[in-house]
Amino acid sequence: MPLRIVVLTKPVPDPAAAAERLGADGRLDRAASPAVINGNDEYTLEASLKLVEAHGGEVTLLSMAPASGIETLRKGLAMGAHRGILVTDPALAGSDQWSTVQVLAAALRELEYDLVLAGFDTSDGVGGVVGAAIATMLRLPYLSSAAKIEPDPDACTVRVRRISPTGFDVLEAPMPALIVGTQLLGEPRYPSLKGIMAARSKEVVTKSLADLELDAKAVGGAASRSKVTGTTKPPARGATQVVRGTPEEGAKAIADLLASRRLI
Amino acid sequence: MTEPTPTGYRLTEEQTLLRDTIRTLAFEQIAPRAAEIDRSGEFPEDVRQLLAGQDVLALPYPVEHGGLGADLLTQCLAIEAIAHACVTSSLILSVQALASLPLLLGGTKEQHERFFPDLASGKVLAAFALTEPEAGSDAAALRTRAVRDGDSYRISGTKRFITNGSVAGLITVFAVTNPDAKRHARISAFAVEVPADGFKVARLEHKLGIRGSPTAELTFDDVRVPASNLIGAEGDGWKLALGTLDRSRPGIAAQAVGIAQGALDAAAQYARERKQFGQRIGEFQMIQAMLADMDARTEAARQLTYKAATEVEAGAHDATRWASVAKLVAGDTAMAVTTDAVQVLGGYGYTDDYPVERMMRDAKITQLYEGTQQIQRLVIARALLGKPD
Amino acid sequence: MAAAKGTIWVVAETNADGSLAKSSTEVATLARTLAEAAGASAAAIVVASDPKAAAAELARYVGRVVAVAEPKAAGHAWAQVAAQRAAAILASETPAAILTGAGPDGRDVAGTLATLLERPVLVNATAVAWKDGGPSVEMSVFGGKLVTTSSLVDGEWGIVTVRPNVVTAEEAGSIGEVEDVASSGDLELPLVKIVDQVSEAAAALPIEEARIIVAGGRGVGGPDGFALVQELADALGGAVGATRAAVDSGWIPYNQQIGQTGKIVKPQLYLALGISGAIQHKVGMQTAGTIVGVNRDPDAPIAEFADLVVVGDLFEVGEALLAELKRR
């Protein structure tokens, strides 16, 4: 039986470009550096593509982002996803997690799916709470920190391997379910060039807040309940001492430093 | 997104994604191999498989035959991105395109159906055999002979400096079919499938650079080729060769731009890290001046190359001049920028601890093949001044 | 000061054996500190199939502990079960703030509570102060290049997830009250069954709670090389960590991976063996108190931010260090 999978993705400033900065309002300046798919979303996207290759079905990308987010959706389509949905609205700039959760939940309510996959966290927000919040809002079974995802479409259940401090647990729940993944799901593929060319004919739908029947006063930047009150640079660490010489000299230097800092 | 206009270009969203994907691929999978490929001098079969598997080799071919139908600018973006990491690897793509151009320009539908699918999938590599021991810059003086015999031709002669000659399965061979005709009308082009009786890879060159790319001397001793492998009509060879060069020279220019950028990036990174006299050498004005000039020259070469590719693709009447100008400028830029990169790294740049000495050696070929810089100047001057009466 | 401005609540976590998670002792200490600053009180909720041991320990950190015995907390994915029971209790309280850990379970609780209670969340706090009637939260962003301070908009209260190891656990000096509560009412959210539990290598302390970490990278060369890393960790009383390269090569489990796609740690000592210090790893450990690197390459990026770099072979230096430590 084919699987219908929705993958939540978010464009983030490219961490490799190291050009992220905050704007004057204390919010991330998304125009300051090129955007890429959030690194952790690539693992869940890869997992979803492998699953539909094995079981049949389709992968839909869902993203809440500025209009430029359409480019990162295209990359996901080039990797093999079948269609994309971009929720974009000027009122959403500066949204906090609560807004994000409401918007994505509203978008998901319009879709039919067996699985919703979310990345472990985002490199620009690093929160990791959105998955649980959405699952709760939609009353979906919630399985997190997945290292392996094994759906049984005929039984309409899914099993997930969740890393634990002592090894791993195997969780099971009925579908539809929401799963948060980890890097252990496997290395993402490069978009093939054929995939890139094919992406241009795949469907990308944009939705505004009005399309989702959400009120811009209740959701979005204006409704944000948190604010950045200040920024500082972390304290400089101080000069690095470099020791060359015999291993014994190196060992002594280390032990002396640890002793001076009461670590041994 | 904006379509390329006749007077300029803008990269489409798709071209940008394609370029970025190949850049990432080259950085992650090919760059780590580059030093070893140069050191061992072995053809990188793994990179060939990688490029084939990622559809990179499909770029130059029509979609209906398994290709991606990419325009010339897109192919240039791909070549540049790979050359940035490893020039030998970029040749796998650029020679595949070069050798297929006579078929693309003059081949029949039947020939396209027969040859392109395996070329596009990378299952078969192609080579371009024009040059001979006695016919380099003076290519029209070539002597390899193709004699009609029933429903095939017998080809005999020697070709020299043929890139991929020892790994190709399809070789585009230029040979004389009519020795008595006027100079250029003597020559025809053939698609020769190898291995074949009478075909031999006589030797491989030991080169200054692009050391992982097999550069072969090929001997043809009465090699039988079906008449259906003649490309175009008898006597079309020279025209096909010239049409090919118009489209392949921007690719070499792109390769040179990639080499220059790779060298610039390595030099800039070094300048950020290396400390002498109590500070990073990047603080010294002489280093800054060199790096700035390297950047400006590379960018100029790049923009010229992209523009030339756009003009050639659009069928401009002066496409030949565009292709030569780009190749001339970019080749000289690569040589200058890589030499300066070694200079910035000083003594370390002279050793193989750093990649710039390899880039400098690799850059030299862009001033030599597909028409030496001197030939490019003749072409450009002729376009400026018109043919002699 | 008299009538509290509400209570600062902690939702605590337990280990597999029912004992209180170390991170929860830190979060509870933080709750108490903030409560003192706020003129409020601090309390904690612990939900487990048998919460007695954890509750007793929690009571050494805060004045009031609500221990919820919930049989379904065993055999099912814990976080949403715990969050629902916590929400039911908090619904009849006046929270000034809710604190959870920022680890996988803590954030799952925070996310679930955020929806159940319709509250905003401030995430991954590396420091929390009490300002203007609410939490003022510091967070490290942009791969460590910047520290932002955030708070909630006027009149709002919410949830804060707190990184491990940013607060030193300190007992209150008196024992708080434990209220035992039996869970009542149905759980509305779908339960996720645990159908199997597999133990792999014996887990030591979760790495993000370790005070000292000795980590190995590509330079360690293989699983056998990690024996030295373990010996040094044992000699220093610390835990073993690793870079992504070592984990991807299969030399060490993912649980011990430190970096952008692994854990972010803030130990007092980070000893990096054969680790280049590239950005993806750096973001996982750059706020450690003391950073020492052993590397053959004097120009490795780690030399830009370590306190001490010893240039040499990590095995030779490692053995010499073991000998040196034995002598002291």
Q: Measure the CA–CA gap between B47 and B276, rounded to whole angstroms.
A: 38
- Asked if residue A67 lies in contact with residue A90, where contact means CB atoms within 8 angstroms, the answer is no
Evaluated on CA atoms B159, B165, B166, B171, the torsion sign reads negative
Residue A130: its chain C contacts at CB < 8 A? 111
Contact C141 A15 (CB under 8 A): no
The predicted pLDDT at position A16 comes to: 65
- The model's confidence at residue C4, banded by pLDDT at 50, 70 and 90, is very low
Q: Which of C150, C206, C320 sits opposite A248 (nearest CB)?
A: C320
The predicted pLDDT at position C5 comes to: 65
The predicted pLDDT at position B1 comes to: 47
- Asked if residue C115 lies in contact with residue C86, where contact means CB atoms within 8 angstroms, the answer is no
The predicted pLDDT at position C207 comes to: 85
Q: Measure the CA–CA gap between B337 and B266, rounded to whole angstroms.
A: 11
Amino acid at residue number C289:
G
Higher pLDDT, A215 or B7: A215
- The model's confidence at residue B168, banded by pLDDT at 50, 70 and 90, is very high
Contact A230 C149 (CB under 8 A): yes
Encode pLDDT of A180-237 as tens digits: 998 889 888 888 888 888 888 899 999 999 999 999 888 888 888 988 888 888 777 8
Least confident of A12-26, C66-80, C230-244: A12-26
Residues pairing with C291 in the sheet: C270
Q: Measure the CA–CA gap between A4 and A111, rounded to whole angstroms.
A: 10
- Tally C-beta pairs within 8 A across A and B: 37
Encode pLDDT of C157-187 as tens digits: 999 999 888 898 999 999 999 999 988 888 9
B357 annotated active-site: no
Chains that touch A (3 or more CB pairs under 8 A): B, C
Q: Which helix (H) or strand (E) holds B161?
A: strand B152-163
Contact B68 A194 (CB under 8 A): yes
Q: Could you tell me which of A106, A89, A77, A96 has the C-alpha nearest to residue A9?
A: A77
Mean pLDDT of C200-207: 66
Q: Measure the CA–CA gap between C258 and C272, rounded to whole angstroms.
A: 11
Residue B55: its chain A contacts at CB < 8 A? 192-194
List the Cα angle C254/A13/C113 in 5-degree steps: 60
Q: Which of B14, B16, B55 sits opposite A194 (nearest CB)?
A: B55
Residues pairing with B220 in the sheet: B157, B199
The predicted pLDDT at position A143 comes to: 97
Q: Could you tell me which of A48, A38, A43, A1 has the C-alpha nearest to residue A16?
A: A38
The predicted pLDDT at position B318 comes to: 94
- The model's confidence at residue B290, banded by pLDDT at 50, 70 and 90, is very high
Encode pLDDT of C234-245 as tens digits: 999 999 999 999
Contact A194 B56 (CB under 8 A): no
Encode pLDDT of C29-75 as tens digits: 999 999 999 999 999 999 999 999 999 999 999 999 999 999 999 99
Least confident of A80-84, A125-129, A138-142, A239-243: A125-129
Task: Compute the mean pLDDT over every residue in chain A, rounded to the nearest whole number.
Answer: 89
Contact A229 C269 (CB under 8 A): no
- Asked if residue B300 lies in contact with residue B225, where contact means CB atoms within 8 angstroms, the answer is no
The predicted pLDDT at position A154 comes to: 93
Q: Which of B13, B22, B56 sits opposite A74 (nearest CB)?
A: B13
Q: Which residues contact A97 (CB under 8 A, 6 or more apart)?
A: A125, A127, A129, A130, A133, C114, C120, C121, C123
